[in-house]
Chain A
């Protein structure tokens, strides 16, 4: 794991948090979408909060795809789950919301879960071997063997 890879994981965390928050704000502005005016979902994109939220979620998607190309799904998902903690911190600092003891416990559990995967290896899957260089590139193979 290089510094750049940790940066990609941080990007996933931040972009998904901000994207989801902006989407939620935009959808609250639009009010309830019912089955009767289902087309309202398509026009939701015209709302500025929703459109900026979508741009941030695209940035999230690019970093997520990058991370999945060199790390396991079961590593990437817990490692980026600090976004839930981030939402609580924003709610506390920006909107002065009270955080209940149960939520603090939730934050502690998530942080513990992140710690558990963060110290382990990022890749274990058999599929990763399919993408490794062929033996006719011995220099690449020897690089792969280094810890």
Chain B
């Protein structure tokens, strides 16, 4: 029964984390290079530009769902199962989602990187 809860939490973490990552990446690309904005207009301008980007809050909401699913999952399953399993699945889901929704050019190099890391993270759990 605990296993079922743990895997349900893993599925929820993966879905919420991928949604959050894509929304946050989209928002920060809209904001622009925060290092440059900080240098030219100050830290307040950085905070202001982020807080006036609506998708940022949707991203944070999705991350909050992922975070509470993680707390929930950790209290049921082992750290060594829940964290690597959800992280491994999130790497692959993110590569697919970034290509579809963010139009990132996920070339051969990045696919190999995502798959190597996902496989490596999965092996760490064994």
Q: Which residues of A are interface residues toward B (Cβ below 8 A)?
A: 4-5, 20, 23-24, 27-28, 30-33, 41, 44, 57, 61, 64-66, 68-70, 72-78, 81, 84, 88, 100, 102-103, 105-114, 116-117, 120, 124-128, 130-131
Q: Determine which of A32, A105, A106, A117 lies in contact with B75 in the assembled complex, contact meaning CB atoms within 8 Å.
A: A32
B59-112 residues at the A interface, CB under 8 angstroms = 63, 67-68, 70-72, 74-76, 79, 83-84, 87, 91, 94-95, 98-99, 102-107, 109-110, 112
Count chain A CB atoms within 10 A of each CB in B76, B110, B126 and give the residue with the most. Answer: B110
Total number of B residues with any Cβ neighbor in A under 8 Å: 53
User: Do A65 and B117 touch across chains, with their CB atoms under 8 A apart?
Assistant: no
User: Do A69 and B29 touch across chains, with their CB atoms under 8 A apart?
Assistant: yes
CA distance A72 to B76 in the complex (A): 34
Q: Determine which of B71, B102, B110, B112 lies in contact with A23 in the assembled complex, contact meaning CB atoms within 8 Å.
A: B71
B42 an interface residue at 8 Å Cβ cutoff? Answer: no
Q: Is the contact region of chain B dominated by helix, strand, or loop, or is it mixed?
A: helix
User: Do A131 and B114 touch across chains, with their CB atoms under 8 A apart?
Assistant: no
B45 an interface residue at 8 Å Cβ cutoff? Answer: no
User: Do B30 and A127 touch across chains, with their CB atoms under 8 A apart?
Assistant: yes
